[in-house]
Amino acid sequence: MKTIPPIAEMQRAYQKSDAGYDGIFFLAVRTTGVFCRPSCRARKPKPENVTYFASAREALFAGFRPCKRCRPLAVNGRPPEWAEKLLAEIDAAPTARLTDGDLRKRGVDPARARRHFLKHYGMTFQAYCRARRLGNALEQIRQGTKLDDVALGNGYESHSGFRDAFVRTFGAPPGHSDDRDCILLDWIESPLGPLVAGANAKGICLLEFTERRMLEAQFAALRQRFGCAIVPGRNGHLRQLKKELKGYFDGTLREFSVPLDYPGSPFQGRVWDELCNIPYGATCSYEELARRIGRPGAQRAVGHANGQNRIAILIPCHRVVNKGGKLGGYGGGLWRKQFLLDLERGESSLFDRGTGKRGLTEPVL
Write the secondary structure of 239-264 as one string of H (helix), E (strand) and C (coil). HHHHHHHHHHHHCCCCCCCCCECCCC
Domain with CATH 3.40.10.10 in the chain: 7-66
CB 327 within 8 A of CB 321: yes
Domain with CATH 1.10.10.60 in the chain: 81-176
Q: Which of 36, 182, 205, 284 is catalytic?
A: 36
Q: Which amino acid is at 349?
A: S
CB 96 within 8 A of CB 155: yes
332 vs 79: CA distance, rounded Å? 21
- DSSP letters, 37-97, are -TT--SPPPPGGGEEEESSHHHHHHTT-EE-TTT-TTS--SS--HHHHHHHHHHHH-TT--
Among 207, 231, 244, CA closest to 331? 207
Compute the half-sphere exposure of residue 340: CA atoms within 13 Å on the CB side of its CA: 26
Query: Is residue 317 annotated as a catalytic residue, yes or no?
Result: yes
- Is the pTM higher than 0.75? The answer reads no
- The one-digit pLDDT tens for each residue of the chain (365 residues) are 456 788 998 999 999 998 778 878 899 999 988 999 999 988 899 999 999 998 877 787 677 888 888 888 765 555 678 888 888 888 787 777 788 999 999 999 999 898 888 776 767 888 788 777 776 666 655 555 555 555 555 555 455 555 555 555 555 555 444 445 778 888 888 877 778 899 988 999 999 887 655 666 777 778 788 877 777 778 899 999 999 999 999 999 999 999 999 998 999 999 999 999 999 999 999 999 999 999 998 989 999 999 889 999 999 999 999 887 788 778 777 878 888 999 999 875 443 333 334 433 333 22
- CATH number among 3.10.200.10, 3.40.50.720, 3.40.10.10, 2.40.50.140, domain 7-66: 3.40.10.10
Query: Is residue 40 annotated as a catalytic residue, yes or no?
Result: no
Question: Phi first, then psi: what are they for 144, rounded to 5°?
Answer: 90, 10
**296-341 pLDDT per residue, tens:** 989 899 999 998 899 999 999 999 998 877 887 787 778 788 889 9
Domain 81-176 -> CATH class: mainly alpha
